Amino acid sequence: MDWFRHRDGQLYCEDVPLATIAERVGTPAYVYSARTIEHHVEAIREAFAAVDPLICYAVKANGNLGVLRVLREAGTGFDIVSVGEMHRVLMAGADPTKIVFSGVGKTASEMQSALEAGILMFNVESEEEVEILAGVAASMDRIASVAIRVNPDVDPKTHRYISTGQAETKFGVDIERGEALARVVAGTPSLRLVGVHCHIGSQITSVEPFARAVARIAELATTLRQDIDTVEWLNMGGGFGIYYKDGKAPEMSAYAEAIVPLVQATGLKLIMEPGRVIVGNAGALLTRVLLTKQSGTRRFVVVDAGMNDVLRPSLYEGYHRIWPVLGDAPPPLGDEGGFEPCHVVGPICETGDFLAKDRPLPDVGRGDLMAVMSAGAYGFVMASNYNDRCRPPEVLVRGDEMAVVRVRETLDDLVRYDRGDAPFEQVNA
Ligand SMILES: Cc1ncc(COP(=O)(O)O)c(C=O)c1O
């Protein structure tokens, strides 16, 4: 469900025409719907109400401060993977006791900052991380709460770049090692074992991998709980898939039906770390056609957004629906027979710079405004300045109002940290 709809011959975000936003802030530009974000949080909460989960939104999906404020006001906690993300969520008013800190390579100084802030727990992924965290906490005379991230070795059947829960990925530790590590944590004075964590991957569109993963971590947590009474949380990570193509994705209730009984049987509390499912369909990227060209048998539509603005298609063949903003809604997928297949490409000097390949499109031309749909997750956060391009603005819509929650970068921003005239200094004494 989202609030991007064609009506009266043009595409709206909630009650604001996307064409108006493009006139105000130019293109390319990201646009987010606050109502869609809130709706997704509510859908998760309702489906899982029987276990009243702590929803820790995965900031990596979209860390815009305006978006984070919407989520904080909706009552979510946050899953962070760096001190940068922690800085953002605290700026957005997050309650530190609802922050979990994931990531395979946290630095000692990040651990220290998170302990100072008073976060809920660290999701710890290795023996050496336990050692480092124990040292940092002891040096601060603090006790760090820890969940062990285990690798339940479940195939989430998603793209290999976003599959994280199998035996040979860099994330977590295997279940046997996880149990031993949990016992080390429990026996370390500066650490407290509070739970077991897993995250098996992203854009997972079936229930079964989640059910298998949760069953495995539930079993481990239950074993640990028999002699470690500080264990109180099961953290199932994120990964719920969204519709990119056809408006269809599993209902939250389908996941809940499989997972809630497993959690209830443990008597433990549930944390989840959804990112994409909350913000993915809540965003679109506006772009304008710069020109069209023919090369060989191929028709190219060259737009003003490139892989530096939206990386998913180039990085992992991510599919985004792309359609003109003015005119009628696109036909259902598969009913585009009358349209010519085109490559939609950006201005970047890379063959891999494309937004869509062989995509049937109406007859678009220079200046036409297009919307790249379902771009709210892993969109702007992966944007770069490659080819010295300014990153686009971000706009948040609520009802018939819009707020520019990040302005377009300027040419000065591109050279802000360069010191081309820095004097050379003698380094060896
Ligand atoms: C530890 C962890 N939790 C949560 C997420 C969020 O995943 P998604 O956006 O698919 O829900 C990720 C994504 O990579 C992750 O690494």
C-beta 98 within 6 A of ligand 1 = no
pLDDT digits (tens, 9 = 90+) for 95-116: 999 999 999 999 999 999 999 9
Q: What is the dihedral of CA 321, 323, 325, 328, to 10 degrees?
A: -110
Known catalytic residue at 342: no
Q: What are phi and psi of 9, to 5 degrees?
A: 75, 15
Asked if residues 350 and 307 have their Cβ atoms less than 8 Å apart, the reply is yes
C-beta 125 within 6 A of ligand 1 = no
The number of distinct structural domains making up the chain is: 2
Residues 141 and 88 placed together within one structural domain of the fold: yes
Q: What is the dihedral of CA 40, 236, 219, 176, to 10 degrees?
A: 170
* Most informative mutation of 124, 163, 199 for ligand 1 (most atoms within 8 A of CB): 199
Placement of tokens 């820095």 in the chain:
422
Q: Which two tokens stand for residue 229?
A: 């009474």
* Domain contains 161: yes
Last residue within a domain, chosen from 249, 277, 305:
277
Q: Under the phi-then-psi rule, with left for phi > 0, alpha for psi from -120 to 50, and beta for the rest, what region is 8?
A: left
| CA dihedral for 32, 34, 40, 45, sign (positive or negative) | positive
pTM: 0.96
Last residue within a domain, chosen from 277, 308, 343:
277
Residues 148 and 166 placed together within one structural domain of the fold: yes
Nearest ligand 1 atom to the CA of 102 is 1
* Domain contains 427: no
Nearest ligand 1 atom to the CA of 103 is 1
C-beta 239 within 6 A of ligand 1 = yes
Find the 237 Cα to ligand 1 centroid distance in Å: 6
The CA radius of gyration of the chain, in Å to the nearest whole number, is: 23
Residues 220 and 369 placed together within one structural domain of the fold: no
User: What DSSP letter does each residue of 273-327 carry, written as one string?
Assistant: ---HHHHGGGEEEEEEEEEEEEETTEEEEEES--TTT--HHHHH-----EEESBS
How crowded is residue 105: how many other Cβ atoms within 10 Å of its Cβ? 11
Nearest ligand 1 atom to the CA of 277 is 11
CA 349-353-358 angle, to 5 degrees, is: 130
Instruction: Kindly give the parts of the chain with pLDDT less than 50.
Output: none
Find the 164 Cα to ligand 1 centroid distance in Å: 9
C-beta 172 within 6 A of ligand 1 = no
What whole-number distance in Å separates Cα of residue 147 and Cα of residue 122?
Answer: 6
Range of the domain at 14: 4-31+280-415
Residues 176 and 44 placed together within one structural domain of the fold: yes
Find the 200 Cα to ligand 1 centroid distance in Å: 8
Among protein residues, the one with the nearest Cα to ligand 1's atom 16 is 199
Mean pLDDT, the chain, as a whole number? Answer: 96
DSSP 391: P
What whole-number distance in Å separates Cα of residue 240 and Cα of residue 113?
Answer: 30
Q: List the one residue out of 247, 383, 238, 403 whose CA is nearest residue 306.
A: 383
* Most informative mutation of 202, 217, 243, 276 for ligand 1 (most atoms within 8 A of CB): 202
* Most informative mutation of 57, 67, 79 for ligand 1 (most atoms within 8 A of CB): 79
C-beta 44 within 6 A of ligand 1 = no
Last residue within a domain, chosen from 277, 294, 311:
277
Find the 77 Cα to ligand 1 centroid distance in Å: 14
pLDDT digits (tens, 9 = 90+) for 308-331: 999 999 998 999 999 999 999 998
C-beta 165 within 6 A of ligand 1 = no
pLDDT (0 to 100) of residue 162: 65
Nearest ligand 1 atom to the CA of 61 is 9
C-beta 346 within 6 A of ligand 1 = no
Residues 114 and 58 placed together within one structural domain of the fold: yes
Nearest ligand 1 atom to the CA of 162 is 14
Q: Under the phi-then-psi rule, with left for phi > 0, alpha for psi from -120 to 50, and beta for the rest, what region is 86?
A: alpha
| 335-342: Cβ within 8 A, 24+ apart | 336/360, 340/299, 341/299, 342/292, 342/298, 342/299, 342/300, 342/301
pLDDT (0 to 100) of residue 408: 98
* Domain contains 124: yes
Strands laid side by side in the 16-17 sheet: 4-7, 10-13, 16-17
Residues 328 and 385 placed together within one structural domain of the fold: yes
* Most informative mutation of 55, 60, 78, 277 for ligand 1 (most atoms within 8 A of CB): 60
Find the 202 Cα to ligand 1 centroid distance in Å: 6
What whole-number distance in Å separates Cα of residue 89 and Cα of residue 71?
Answer: 10
C-beta 53 within 6 A of ligand 1 = no
Residues 100 and 79 placed together within one structural domain of the fold: yes
* Domain contains 334: yes
Instruction: State whether residue 115 is helix, strand or coil.
Output: helix
CA 264-203-233 angle, to 5 degrees, is: 25
CATH of the domain at 367: 2.40.37.10
Residues 111 and 184 placed together within one structural domain of the fold: yes
C-beta 322 within 6 A of ligand 1 = no
* Domain contains 421: no
Residues 52 and 170 placed together within one structural domain of the fold: yes
* Domain contains 428: no
Helices (H), 162-206: 175-186
C-beta 204 within 6 A of ligand 1 = no
pLDDT (0 to 100) of residue 161: 67
Residues 6+ apart with CB under 8 A from 208: 258
Q: List the one residue out of 240, 147, 233 whose CA is nearest residue 201.
A: 240
CATH of the domain at 100: 3.20.20.10
pLDDT (0 to 100) of residue 197: 98
* Domain contains 425: no
C-beta 102 within 6 A of ligand 1 = yes
Residues 25 and 159 placed together within one structural domain of the fold: no
What whole-number distance in Å separates Cα of residue 214 and Cα of residue 203?
Answer: 17
What whole-number distance in Å separates Cα of residue 279 and Cα of residue 58?
Answer: 10
pLDDT (0 to 100) of residue 138: 98
C-beta 202 within 6 A of ligand 1 = yes
What whole-number distance in Å separates Cα of residue 357 and Cα of residue 265?
Answer: 47
Residues 267 and 295 placed together within one structural domain of the fold: no
Q: List the one residue out of 88, 89, 131, 121 whose CA is nearest residue 197.
A: 121
Residues 250 and 116 placed together within one structural domain of the fold: yes
What whole-number distance in Å separates Cα of residue 407 and Cα of residue 29?
Answer: 9
* Domain contains 423: no
Q: Which of 13, 198, 349, 390 is catalytic?
A: 349
